[in-house]
Amino acid sequence: MSFVSLPFFVITIVTILLYFLFPLGKRWVVLLTASAVFYYEAAGLAASFIILLTAAFVYYAAILIEKSDNESRKKKFIFSIAVIAVLCVLILTKIKNNVRILAGFLIPMGISYYSFSLIGYLADVYTKKQISERNFLKFLLYTTFFLKIMQGPISKFRIIGPKLIEGHRFDYQNLCMGTQLIIWGYFKKLVITERTMMFVYNLFADLNNYELGGFSLLFATILWGFGFYCDFSGYMDIVTGIAQIMGIQLEKNFDRPFFSRSFSEFWGRWHITLGVWFRDYIYIPLGGSRKGIIRKYFNLFVVFLVSGVWHGTGLDYLIWGVLCGAISVLSQVLDPLFVKIKKILKINPESADWRAFQIIRTFCAYLLILLIATATGIRNLKPYFRIIFKDFGFGRMDIHSFTRYGLNGTNFVILVIAVVILWFMEWKQAAGSIRVFVAGLNAPAKWTFYALGTLIVLFLGIYGAGYSTSGFAYAFY
């Protein structure tokens, strides 16, 4: 179900109204009902049955694990079987396109996200960090909550569970703050991402016949880098804003990643809950940094390799994982050398120009891995860099450059201005919360600001009759 559709708006508005009309202790029932309706409308009856069956299996497995003696074979066996069962279904969805016999295999919506959530829950019960939930319906709400089922965040039960189950009273400040995020999220998605979708795939699909020169190609890549970020972070803003109106605080999944000064810092700011999941359930169980420096780098490399497989199948994603792991490991290995070089060259690591260099360097690394995973793929890297280095063609770009690929001059100007606004807002966010400032305005000024933002999205957004809004890029199976 598209988040830019009448059914979604109806489900959301009805859910919010009913949530505050129900008794405080029963408001979680509204969320469960809304999640069931959303999942059925979006995925169908068969997929709904599969997620229900999976949740029931994990629910009873967790209870059996909790009842088993510590370190007993029975406890380990149940835990292993439960995790393997969840992983098997997830793996089947990843390889179905490459195995003919699995072509008709049904893929439940959001399986990549709820599978990781359920595996984390089982691990927490196994290590006694979490008491198993004995109310199946409340556990089902955790599994299927409609605001996080498609793209996360991948939350631990002990963090999000109580927030979903306990009722929250209406709070005017939450309404204001949530409305801000919703408008900002739709601005990212409809004004920025949808415009990049209009031309970027057409452009990258035929690089061998590309005639605009390397400068325009590089500029298009930068726009796509911002567009891809806005796609995922825009979704998170929308669902976080809706949840906040109901008093539910979802975990932060992005923290201004384009202001990162290193590759490691970038991944600490991008898809934060996925990174935490890999840290807690793969990196640390493998030994983390406790078993020597070589083992630490090996564990880090494994995390990125698994991350690549999770993001998608095929050689491109495997190489994506290897490249991310190699960059992360090499940056740490060479860090002492870089420190010495900076001392020799008398570089002030806190100077503005050095910070700018680090940010640009990190952004370039992000663009490279994005090209591999979502745009050109490995096969098209050769023609891509041939155009960049052999035919830069600086003078051949104007506001009509991408018209032949689907982006006319007007939309090009709107896109560039929108990206500048995005960058400026995130830059200013470092000095203090813009959201708090806007929410602190008097009521007429505040709601005028919100109305203006809504009008900008309505008039400048790409959506509506005759146009099919693209799905969110991270909305995996």
pLDDT tens-place string over residues 123-157:
999 999 999 999 999 999 999 999 999 888 999 99
Q: 67 and 39, same structural domain? A: yes
Instruction: Please give the structure tokens belonging to residue 147.
Output: 């605001």
pLDDT higher than 90, residue 29: yes
Q: Which of 348, 355, 341 is nearest to 262 (CA)?
A: 355
Hey, is 464 helix, strand or coil?
coil
Q: What is the pLDDT of residue 11?
A: 94
Would you state the structure tokens that stand for residue 327, as one six-digit string? 């960059």
Q: Say whether both 274 and 418 belong to one domain.
A: yes
Tokens of 470: 């693209």
Closest CA to 62 of 127, 151, 109: 127
Tally of residues, the chain: 477
Burial string for 293-317 (b: 16+ CB within 10 Å, else e) reads eeebbbbbbbbbbebbebbbbbebb
Please give the mean pLDDT across all residues of the chain. Answer: 87
Q: Which residue has the tokens 């991402």?
A: 193
Q: Residues 331, 332, 333, 339: is their CA dihedral positive or negative?
A: positive
> Are 78 and 220 contained in the same domain?
no
For residue 80, what pLDDT is reported?
94
With respect to residue 352, please indicate whether it lies within any of the assigned structural domains: yes
Distance, CA of 88 to CA of 91 (rounded, Å): 5
- Asked, for residue 475, whether it belongs to a domain, the answer is no
Give a yes or no: residue 466 inside a domain: no
Q: Residue 254, SS3?
A: strand
Indicate whether 284 and 380 sit together in one domain: yes
Report the number of distinct structural domains present in the chain.
Answer: 2
Do residues 146 and 288 both lie within one domain? no
Q: State the Cα–Cα distance between residues 177 and 284, nearest whole angstrom.
A: 36
Tell me: pLDDT of 315 over 90.
no
Q: What is the pLDDT of residue 73?
A: 86
374-422 pLDDT, tens digit per residue, is 766 677 788 888 888 888 877 677 788 888 888 889 999 999 999 999 9
322/346 same-domain check: yes
- Looking at the fold, whether 197 and 227 belong to one and the same domain comes out as yes
Q: How confident is the model at residue 432 (pLDDT cuts 50, 70, 90)?
A: low
pLDDT in tens, 348-362: 888 888 899 999 999
pLDDT tens-digit profile of 205-241?
878 888 888 888 899 999 999 999 999 999 999 999 9
Residues 111 and 247 both lie in one domain = no
Of the residues 117, 137, 169, the one at which a domain ends: 169
Distance CA 366, CA 327 (A): 11
| Domain hosting residue 123, numbered range | 6-169
- Indicate the burial class of 103 (C-beta count within 10 angstroms; 0-12, 13-18, 19 or more): exposed
Q: C-alpha angle 462/468/469, rounded to 5°?
A: 55
Confidence band for 465, pLDDT divided at 50, 70 and 90: very low
Looking at the fold, whether 262 and 378 belong to one and the same domain comes out as yes
468 in a domain, yes or no? no
Going by pLDDT thresholds of 50, 70 and 90, the confidence category of residue 346 is confident
Q: Is the pTM above the cut of 0.85?
A: yes
Q: Which parts of 166-251 fold into alpha helices (H)?
A: 172-186, 194-197, 200-205, 214-245
Lowest mean pLDDT among 45-49, 69-73, 443-447: 69-73
Q: Is the pLDDT of residue 68 over 90?
A: no
The domain boundary, picked from 121, 144, 169, lies at 169
User: Do the domain assignments include residue 217?
Assistant: yes
Q: 137 with 198, same domain? A: no
Q: Give 444-455 pLDDT, tens digit per residue.
A: 888 898 999 999
Q: For residue 393, what is the DSSP state?
A: -
Judged against a pLDDT cut of 80, whether residue 178 lies above it is answered with yes
Residue 466's pLDDT band (cuts 50, 70, 90): very low
Q: Lowest mean pLDDT of 104-108, 165-169, 234-238, 353-357, name the range.
A: 104-108
- pLDDT, residue 99, reads 58
Residues 342 and 258 in one domain: yes
Instruction: Decide if 282 contacts 303 (C-beta within 8 A).
Output: yes
User: Is the confidence at residue 464, as pLDDT, over 90?
Assistant: no
Domain annotation covers residue 286: yes
The answer to the question of residue 469 being in a domain is: no
Q: What are phi and psi of 270, to 5 degrees?
A: -110, 130
- What pLDDT sits at residue 339? 84
- CA dist., res. 472 & res. 1, Å (int): 11
Q: Report the share of the chain in percent with pLDDT over 70.
A: 92
Domain boundary among 145, 169, 193: 169
The verdict on 149 and 240 lying in the same domain is no
